[in-house]
Structure 1
Amino acid sequence: MAPRKEQQIFRATLELLAAKGYEGLTVEGVAERSRVNKTTIYRWWPSKAALLAAALVEADLLAMEQPDTGSLRGDLEALVRGIVALLTRPPAADVAVAALGAAVHHRELAEAVRRFFADRFVREEAVFERARRRGELSATADPMLIVDLLAGAVWLRTVFRGLPPDDDFAARAVSAVLDGSATARARTGGPAAG
């Protein structure tokens, strides 16, 4: 299938998900919205779950540039800003919230969401590989935990609390994860370094 037509189908799929929820998402609706015959869609994706799984991973609508700023801190701040944009700007924000909400009730969609996050993490691993080569990250650091802490902070702040992150949110979140929040004394159990 031509990449442009595939992206039309993916965009239609995600827009319908955001507008009508998973229950209202149909291959017929995607065919109508994308102006592609439904038999063509079924030839490539046997079910709406398979179509949605592909759209979540491959749609330009949800694409995020992987940062390469030259430092771990800079890359993580750029990554946080990208997640903030994804979760606060329509239609991507509506798609992300609809997919996550529906995944709770539909096993096939939960698998698609897991695949989406797994694909994102594979792409993000380059940030940590470069940081290790530069000596910025210990060999025992857990990249997935770092990403989970940062992405979880964005999800909690923007989606669940409904608070818009301020301009320095990314820097503060990354600092909390990389530097911690305790004083030197609390970290070492001794007097704070002066």
Structure 2
Amino acid sequence: MTPPQRRSKITPERELELYEAALDLLREAGYDALTMEGVAARSRCGKSTLYRQWRTKPQLVAAALRGTRGVGLADVDTGSLAGDLRAVARSAAAGAGRDAALTHALGHAALQNPELLQVLRETLLQPGAEAIQAMIDRAVARGEIPADHPAAEFVATQLIGLTRARMLVEGRQADEDYLIRFLESSVFPALGLRAGPRAASGSPS
């Protein structure tokens, strides 16, 4: 049986500094060039401290991604599916630049590293998909859409995929206007939702 990992006592503020150092290096140089030594130098931290806290590079990346996520989509509940999905679009657009850089840095490496791939799924993809599914479940409970609506299962994949695909296809970020136009022209009609008037940016609709 593997003995429990010993963790040194560092403050939450210091832990966040280490996370930011690791993610900054990821964005700058990619996953393969990221090392515990590099993070230690960037954050002016002892290498032994990093290894006590996180035994491997994927574990450090996982902790950094989880520790810098901020408010998640699970907190979104505007009272309507259209409003919830617009809130998803605003949140995705707000984080598109930072998340796109991380996804680019980690994407290829994840295909070669099953542990890292699982980290990305657990920290960047699954929470968002589960939150969108919860929005759909609430909409079903409210009677907005039928439980067996054939388009409902594709909503999370479409939204999550589009935020990454536009940069690959067009070389541009999927900004708020782009994502909301996609919702109103494609997702809402497919679900049988009325778009209604747009709310001001940053407020639920």
Query: Shorter-chain TM-score: what band?
Result: 0.7 to 0.9
Does the 8 Å contact 1:157/1:164 carry over to 2? yes
What residue number does 2:142 align with? Answer: 134
Give the count of matched residue pairs: 177
What residue number does 1:177 align with? Answer: 187
Structure 1 residues 2 and 167: alpha-carbon distance in aligned structure 2, compared to 1, 3 A threshold: closer
What residue number does 1:115 align with? Answer: 122
Structure 1 residues 179 and 97: alpha-carbon distance in aligned structure 2, compared to 1, 3 A threshold: same
AA aligned to 2:32 is: E
Alignment partners' CA distance in 1, 2:168 and 2:70: 19
Alignment of 1:156-171 (within 5 A): 156-165=165-174, 168-171=177-180
Helix, strand or coil at the partner of 1:84: helix
Q: Say whether residues 1:99 and 2:99 are aligned partners.
A: no
Alignment of 1:19-58 (within 5 A): 19-56=28-65, 58=66
What residue number does 1:84 align with? Answer: 93
Alignment partners' CA distance in 2, 1:166 and 1:22: 26
Q: Of 67, 74, 78, which residue of structure 2 is paired with 1:69? A: 78
Matched residues, percent identical? 34
CA shift digits 1:87-145 (9 cap, x unpaired): 2x3x4432222122322333332121122212333444442343233222332357663
Deviation at 1:46, TM superposition (A): 0.9
Does the 8 Å contact 2:164/2:174 carry over to 1? no
AA aligned to 2:156 is: V
Structure 1 window deviating more from structure 2 (145-154 vs 118-127): it is: 118-127
Alignment partners' CA distance in 2, 1:167 and 1:53: 27
CA-atom RMSD in angstroms = 2.5
Does the 8 Å contact 1:97/1:159 carry over to 2? no
In the superposition, the TM-score normalised over structure 2's length comes to 0.73
Does the 8 Å contact 1:146/1:177 carry over to 2? yes
In the superposition, the TM-score normalised over structure 1's length comes to 0.77
Does the 8 Å contact 1:80/1:151 carry over to 2? no
AA aligned to 1:145 is: F
What residue number does 1:184 align with? Answer: none
Alignment partners' CA distance in 2, 1:123 and 1:38: 37
Alignment partners' CA distance in 2, 1:59 and 1:144: 29
Where do 5+ consecutive residues of structure 1 fail to align? 182-194
Where do 5+ consecutive residues of structure 2 fail to align? 1-9, 192-205
What residue number does 1:18 align with? Answer: 27
